[in-house]
Amino acid sequence: MDLATFPWLTTIILFPLVAAAAIPLIPDPKGQGRPIRWYSLVIGLIDFALIVYTFSTQYDLSSSELQLVEVYNWIPQLGLQWSLGADGLSMPLILLTGFVTTLAILAAWPVTLKPRLFYFLVLAMYGGQIAVFAVQDMLVFFLVWELELLPVYLLLAIWGGYKRQYAATKFILYTAGSSLFILVAALAMAFYGDTITFDMRALGLKEFSLSFELLVYGGLLIAYAVKLPIVPLHTWLPDAHGEATAPVHMLLAGILLKMGGYALIRMNAEMLPQAHALFAPALVILGVVNIIYAALTSFAQRNLKRKIAYSSISHMGFVLIGIASFTDLGLSGAVLQMVSHGLIGASLFFLVGATYDRTHTLILEEMGGVGQKMPKIFAMFTACSMASLALPGMSGFVAELMVFVGFATSDAYSLAFRIIVVFLAAVGVILTPIYLLSMLREIFYGAENKDLTSHEALIDAEPREVFIIACLLVPIIGIGLYPKIITQIYDAKTAQLTLRMRGAVPSLAQAPVPMGSSPAGMTTHFYQAPQL
Amino acid sequence: MDVANLASQLNAGAILPEGAVILTLMVVLIGELALGRASAARWTPYVAIAGLLLSVGLLCLQWDLTPTLSFLGSFNADKLSIVLRSIIALSTLVTILMSIRYVEQAGSSIGEFMTILLSATVGGMFLCGAEELTMIFVSLETLSIASYLLTGYMKRDPRSNEAALKYLLIGAASSAVFLYGLSLLYGLSGGETHLSAIANALAQGTNHLGLLIALVFVIAGISFKIAAVPFHQWTPDVYEGAPTPVVAFLSVGSKAAGFALAIRLLTQAFPAVVEQWQFIFTALAILSMVLGNVVAIAQTSMKRMLAYSSIGQAGFVMIGFVIGTEAGYASMIFYLLIYLFMNLGAFTCIILFALRTGTDQISEYAGLYQKDPLLTLALSLCLLSLGGIPPLAGFFGKIYLFWAGWQAGAYGLVILGLVTSVISIYYYIRVVKMMVVKEPQEMSDVVLNYPAINWTPLGMRPLQVGLFVTLIATSIAGILSNPLFTLVNNAVVEVPHLQTANAAKTPMAILPTTTPELPAPLVSNSDSTAL
């Protein structure tokens, strides 16, 4: 077997899918799903190990090119190709998917309702989501994008909370409706010009007219705005996240939202640079609206899950600003924010689930004073909240700082615009600690709810839960202390992408990339002389 | 002309597949008369299945023969007709698999049922290749009259009788209109009955108005057969009242025959008014997609829901038809082929459910997952495939239709098709939700008293086979659809009149057989320096 030509990505994608198909055959004498759980965990670990092995041995970090390329003709009559590849944009997200999904399987230990179906769906999502980040054919991208509809729908509708069916239906209609734009855009771009192709690289090389680019960009923006989400198309998210059970929640927040951000960079910014140059200010404004609106809304939520859900929306605003910054540092920060939020969001949602398992309520008024009985959960919750509110030394801080500095030093916008945006986004950053800290206070300190604190179900975290949070906190703090560990794996790609994006803005095309914009230097530079 | 010469001109070998079906029909009929109803019922279904398999096999053997006109130009056994005839024969085959137990349980005679069903099949198969007006009308009526009989086959069920009467009255009226259209064609062309001769004669004529009237009448007849809105009113009542296997046949076999008729008659006899008939069919497609998919949301009976869904599905198929490109026709036939499996799969499931519980209300499916996971899986996959969820076959069918539509520049139709298919996801997934999501305490009464699963009674094994065949085809025909694509493309490429119909209209009707150009090296990993 030749290691260099082995179809690694296909194997990584198909392995969980094939393994999922074998789940009905596993004997489960007690009906509690114990063997199935272990089976899924092992599959998750093997696949994650495969991902790590592939990227550590077969992937060249210094190249901005698409690597591990595989192209097979699938349906030549349609020009449909099973073409995969990974570059700096997809690789961190594939790693994140493997990591978070495996932890989500471990987090799903208490799930005993219909275990076969549950683990089948989780494994199916595993493969499907990696495929979203690896696929290089636009029609296949649409296919794998839609593939995740049904598993998420069922995971929400069967294992969710009280209003789960409403939330699940809302999710599927929003997502299915918005993904039409992807198909329409794919068809429009493929048939543009003389050649019919769905290959993303070939589409990126096509010369589209400006009005065509604007139309396609707008359509794709709607599709990805639902996913990311961008206000005002976010309304499915608080419902879906408010009803999902903890492991599903980890997947939703950890990976699904990243699909929107990834696609926005991969398609809107990379393939339609002319339109991106015109749309960028709108993206910045939407990003600011996201940050402030969602932070304020989160502040008012009395339901714990909805509160964290809105905080996710708020954090995604930084991704938008980073994408639209036209600087290396900003874009790098956007990718880092996605990875970082994937870890932080997953950990917070897992802890919310762990708390809910004990208190059986999500309403903040009904909690209070449980910190005494659950010191470990309290400590972990505090640590993850600190990560979420961007405490220096944690990944959220680095990512947001990079976006801030990247945007502030951007030469694409006027000084006044930059000042206003940075100011408003900073207001959002201040709002985050307010609602997160007050949330912590209400759950763990505050007026003690005697019924709750005296309840025998209120036990502290078990080793499995501590392990999951530890796994998530290690990279969070690791990235926070030494961001280069993650930025170096995609630097080459974001630098090349920034050049392409800048090339489409007439005023920037000839200008040099602004000072301090080399992320490798910059990210370490912060820590030598903290300047902000 | 001496007899030998005539016999050689007839070229009767072309209808060998139909001959096999007719022979089967005779054996079934005489077998039942000779041996009595009860003893014949044990083997006649298998004879019918074997006969249909033989017929499909013969069709496969004809694939590589050069198409020749037979019966003095009345019947054209080209590849297009072979594919469509196979679709009809296969749909009958699956219908028989699912009907044995159903008819047995209803206490009727399976022999008679199959005789009528096979007659309908013969009619449908002849219709797919018919190129002459009399031939078209006779085979259409064979199909129709057999369908009326089948609809009313449950003699003691008043709803079945009501359905048959409604179907007969509306069907007879539409046949009359259709026949009137044909007679106008005959007159306008100066007494020609062959489609190509009619087209030649009409090309010189100037009587445009008369031709348009003939066109409208002919389209009315065809639309009745494919249940396109606004000629669909019979569908919900007939589907609800008729025996379920018959509904399955009507929604697939009969519709495929209707589309075959549409392709042949409209492209061949009406090249002079291509824009007009494409316009009318665009309107029909829009109305069918919108009305079929929207009204299906409100249905509480599974059969009625599938009735409206099949109207909507016919709307999608019409996209391929109206754009009039080669890819369009190919996508249409591809979709019919996929639709055959997924729709018949869904019907097999609801028959199985009805046999076990005696109901077809959607609300009664609540909680089925706990009691019968296999049935739940099969019905879910078939419905989701109809809704176009990847990676099931229906997704690929729709993608091809929309792909072809976009290629031909029918942007509005494609976008409408996409929007209505999202609507369709809503009502298909409602059933899935009913079966899978409901908690044990929310189970319906019939599911609570669900009988033990037993495949041994007479006719249950064939049902099981039908279930597995359709299920497997629905699951993998999409992912492995490359051979099917080749098949339908070949079927369309060699039919001359489809090219002439669209050559005038769309200059870009070329098959994109060339693989897209890519920035060089495509070989995996060649541009990465492995660490």
What is the Cα–Cα distance from B320 to B322, expressed in whole angstroms?
Answer: 6
**H-run or E-run covering A420:** helix A415-444
Interface contact flag, B525 A198, Cβ < 8 Å: no
A524 inside domain: no
Q: Give the pLDDT of residue A510.
A: 67
How confident is the model over B301-315, as a mean pLDDT? Answer: 94
In this predicted model, what pLDDT tens digit does every residue of B273-295 receive, in sequence order? 888 899 999 999 999 999 999 99
Structure token pair of residue B446:
């019939």
In this predicted model, what pLDDT tens digit does every residue of B353-411 receive, in sequence order? 999 998 889 999 998 988 898 999 999 999 999 999 888 999 999 999 999 999 998 99
The number of beta carbons lying within 10 Å of the beta carbon of residue A149 is: 20
A400 inside domain: yes
Q: Give the pLDDT of residue B37.
A: 82
Residue B12 confidence class, pLDDT cut points 50, 70, 90? confident
Residue with tokens 């290749």: B129
d(CA B328, nearest CA chain A) in Å = 12
Q: Does position A470 have pLDDT exceeding 70, yes or no?
A: yes
Q: Give the pLDDT of residue B520.
A: 39
The number of beta carbons lying within 10 Å of the beta carbon of residue A350 is: 27
Query: Is residue B299 less than 8 Å (CB to CB) from chain A?
Result: no
Residue from the list A67, A77, A197 with its beta carbon closest to the beta carbon of B516: A197
What is the Cα–Cα distance from B213 to B219, expressed in whole angstroms?
Answer: 10
Which residues of chain A from 88 to 127 reach within 8 Å of chain B, CB to CB? 114, 117
Angle ∠(A193,A194,A195) on CA atoms, nearest 5? 105
| The residue type at B207 | N
Q: Which carries the bigger pLDDT value, residue B175 or residue B2? A: B175
The SS3 of residue A298 is helix
Structure token pair of residue A474:
């290690």
What is the Cα–Cα distance from B217 to B183, expressed in whole angstroms?
Answer: 10
Picking from A77, A148, A162 by the largest number of B CB atoms within 10 A of its own CB, the best residue to mutate is A77
Which residues of chain B from 352 to 381 reach within 8 Å of chain A, CB to CB? 369
Interface contact flag, B519 A202, Cβ < 8 Å: yes
Structure token pair of residue B502:
């669209």
The SS3 of residue B334 is helix
Q: Does position A362 have pLDDT exceeding 80, yes or no?
A: yes
What is the Cα–Cα distance from B282 to B437, expressed in whole angstroms?
Answer: 39
Strands B75-76 and A67-75: unpaired
Average pLDDT score over chain A: 87
Residue from the list A66, A75, A187 with its beta carbon closest to the beta carbon of B406: A187
Residue B1 confidence class, pLDDT cut points 50, 70, 90? low
Which region among A28-32, A226-230, A266-270 has the lowest average model confidence (pLDDT)? A28-32
The SS3 of residue A72 is strand
A205 vs B contacts (CB less than 8 Å): 519
In this predicted model, what pLDDT tens digit does every residue of B433-481 receive, in sequence order? 999 888 888 888 888 888 888 888 888 899 999 999 999 999 998 888 8
Residue from the list B389, B426, B513 with its beta carbon closest to the beta carbon of A173: B426
Cis status of the peptide bond prior to B451, with omega within 30 of 0: no
CA atoms within 13 A on the CB side of B6: 3
The answer to whether A260 touches A225, Cβ cutoff 8 Å, is yes
What is the Cα–Cα distance from A388 to B355, expressed in whole angstroms?
Answer: 57
B369 vs A contacts (CB less than 8 Å): 114, 117
How confident is the model over A14-18, as a mean pLDDT? Answer: 93
Interface contact flag, B515 A81, Cβ < 8 Å: yes
Q: Tell me which chain B residue has its CA closest to the CA of residue A61.
A: B531
Q: Does position B342 have pLDDT exceeding 70, yes or no?
A: yes
Residue B117 confidence class, pLDDT cut points 50, 70, 90? very high
d(CA A134, nearest CA chain B) in Å = 14
B191: CB partners within 8 A, 6+ apart = none
The SS3 of residue B361 is strand
- Number of inter-chain CB pairs under 8 A, A vs B: 146
Which of A85, A128, A122 shows the shortest CA–CA distance to A106? A122
Torsion sign (Cα): B204, B205, B210, B214 = negative
The answer to whether B45 touches B100, Cβ cutoff 8 Å, is yes
What is the Cα–Cα distance from B414 to B420, expressed in whole angstroms?
Answer: 10
Picking from A10, A53, A66, A78 by the largest number of B CB atoms within 10 A of its own CB, the best residue to mutate is A78
Interface contact flag, B528 A177, Cβ < 8 Å: no
For chain A, the domain total comes to 1
Terminal-residue alpha carbon distance, chain B = 82
The answer to whether A183 touches B388, Cβ cutoff 8 Å, is no
Which region among A172-186, A218-232, A440-454, B144-158 has the lowest average model confidence (pLDDT)? A440-454
Residue with tokens 């009691």: B371
A520 inside domain: no
d(CA B415, nearest CA chain A) in Å = 7
Query: Is residue A197 less than 8 Å (CB to CB) from chain B?
Result: yes
Q: Tell me which chain B residue has its CA closest to the CA of residue A79.
A: B515
Picking from B380, B524, B529 by the largest number of A CB atoms within 10 A of its own CB, the best residue to mutate is B524
Q: Does position A225 have pLDDT exceeding 80, yes or no?
A: yes
Q: Give the pLDDT of residue B184.
A: 92
Residue B510 confidence class, pLDDT cut points 50, 70, 90? very low
Query: Is residue B396 less than 8 Å (CB to CB) from chain A?
Result: yes
A494 inside domain: yes
b/e string for A385-422 if b means 16 or more Cβ within 10 A? bbbbbbeeebbbbbbbbbbbbbbbbbbbbeeeebeebb
Which residues of chain B from 154 to 173 reach within 8 Å of chain A, CB to CB? none
Q: Give the pLDDT of residue B9.
A: 75
The answer to whether B69 touches B197, Cβ cutoff 8 Å, is no
B366 vs A contacts (CB less than 8 Å): none
B419 vs A contacts (CB less than 8 Å): 177, 180
Q: Give the pLDDT of residue A528.
A: 39
DSSP 8-state code for residue A505:
S
Q: Does position A484 have pLDDT exceeding 60, yes or no?
A: yes
Query: Is residue A76 less than 8 Å (CB to CB) from chain B?
Result: yes
In this predicted model, what pLDDT tens digit does every residue of A25-80 receive, in sequence order? 888 887 778 889 999 999 999 999 999 999 988 888 888 888 888 888 888 888 88
d(CA A418, nearest CA chain B) in Å = 38
Query: Is residue A440 less than 8 Å (CB to CB) from chain B?
Result: no
The answer to whether B236 touches B308, Cβ cutoff 8 Å, is yes
The SS3 of residue B516 is coil
Q: Give the pLDDT of residue A62.
A: 83
In this predicted model, what pLDDT tens digit does every residue of B22-55 receive, in sequence order? 999 999 999 988 988 888 888 899 999 999 999 9
Picking from B383, B403, B420, B526 by the largest number of A CB atoms within 10 A of its own CB, the best residue to mutate is B403
Residue A292 confidence class, pLDDT cut points 50, 70, 90? very high
* Domain range enclosing A324: 3-509
Q: Tell me which chain B residue has its CA closest to the CA of residue A169.
A: B426
Instruction: Give how far the C-alpha of residue A344 lies from the chain's centroid of Cα atoms, to the nearest Å.
Output: 10
Point out which residues pair with A84 in neighbouring strands: A70, A135
Q: Does position A523 have pLDDT exceeding 50, yes or no?
A: no
Highest mean pLDDT of the ranges A514-523, B204-213, B415-424:
B415-424
ipTM score of the complex?
Answer: 0.88
Angle ∠(A46,A47,A52) on CA atoms, nearest 5? 95
Residue A232 confidence class, pLDDT cut points 50, 70, 90? confident
Q: Does position B512 have pLDDT exceeding 50, yes or no?
A: no
Query: Is residue B444 less than 8 Å (CB to CB) from chain A?
Result: no
Determine the angle formed by the axes of helices B326-357 and B460-476, rounding to 10 degrees. Answer: 140
How confident is the model over A151-172, as a mean pLDDT? Answer: 88
Q: Tell me which chain B residue has its CA closest to the CA of residue A156.
A: B437
Residue with tokens 């259409």: B140
The answer to whether B238 touches B151, Cβ cutoff 8 Å, is yes
Query: Is residue B329 less than 8 Å (CB to CB) from chain A?
Result: no
Interface contact flag, A73 B515, Cβ < 8 Å: yes
b/e string for B336-361 if b means 16 or more Cβ within 10 A? bbbbbbbbbbbbbbbbbbbbbbebbe
Residue A511 confidence class, pLDDT cut points 50, 70, 90? low
From residue B254, alpha-carbon distances to B100, B112, B261 in Å are: 20, 19, 11
Residue B507 confidence class, pLDDT cut points 50, 70, 90? very low
Angle ∠(B60,B63,B68) on CA atoms, nearest 5? 130
Query: Is residue B384 less than 8 Å (CB to CB) from chain A?
Result: yes
Query: Is residue B489 less than 8 Å (CB to CB) from chain A?
Result: yes
Query: Is residue A70 less than 8 Å (CB to CB) from chain B?
Result: yes
A180 vs B contacts (CB less than 8 Å): 415, 418-419, 422
How confident is the model over A219-233, as a mean pLDDT? Answer: 91
A528 inside domain: no
Q: Give the pLDDT of residue B506.
A: 42
Residue with tokens 């359905």: B163
A89 inside domain: yes
Q: Tell me which chain B residue has its CA closest to the CA of residue A155.
A: B437
The answer to whether B231 touches B220, Cβ cutoff 8 Å, is yes
d(CA B517, nearest CA chain A) in Å = 7
Cis status of the peptide bond prior to A475, with omega within 30 of 0: no
What is the Cα–Cα distance from A311 to A315, expressed in whole angstroms?
Answer: 6
d(CA B410, nearest CA chain A) in Å = 12
The number of beta carbons lying within 10 Å of the beta carbon of residue B197 is: 17
Percent of chain A with pLDDT over 70: 95
Q: Does position A525 have pLDDT exceeding 60, yes or no?
A: no
Which of A468, A407, A183, A253 shows the shortest CA–CA distance to B402? A183
Q: Tell me which chain A residue has its CA closest to the CA of residue B392.
A: A147
What is the Cα–Cα distance from A255 to A198, expressed in whole angstroms?
Answer: 25
Q: Does position A447 have pLDDT exceeding 80, yes or no?
A: no
Query: Is residue A132 less than 8 Å (CB to CB) from chain B?
Result: no
Q: Give the pLDDT of residue B518.
A: 40
Structural Rg of chain B based on CA atoms: 23
Structure token pair of residue B463:
């049902």
In this predicted model, what pLDDT tens digit does every residue of B408-430 receive, in sequence order? 989 999 999 999 999 999 999 99
Which region among A330-339, B48-57, B71-80 has the lowest average model confidence (pLDDT)? B71-80
A176 inside domain: yes
A458: CB partners within 8 A, 6+ apart = A358, A359, A370, A373, A374, A452
Interface contact flag, B519 A184, Cβ < 8 Å: no
Q: Tell me which chain A residue has its CA closest to the CA of residue B487.
A: A77
What is the Cα–Cα distance from B354 to A124, expressed in whole angstroms?
Answer: 32
Residue B500 confidence class, pLDDT cut points 50, 70, 90? low
Burial class of B377 by CB neighbour count within 10 A (0 to 12, 13 to 18, 19+) = middle
Query: Is residue B520 less than 8 Å (CB to CB) from chain A?
Result: no
How confident is the model over A464-489, as a mean pLDDT? Answer: 91
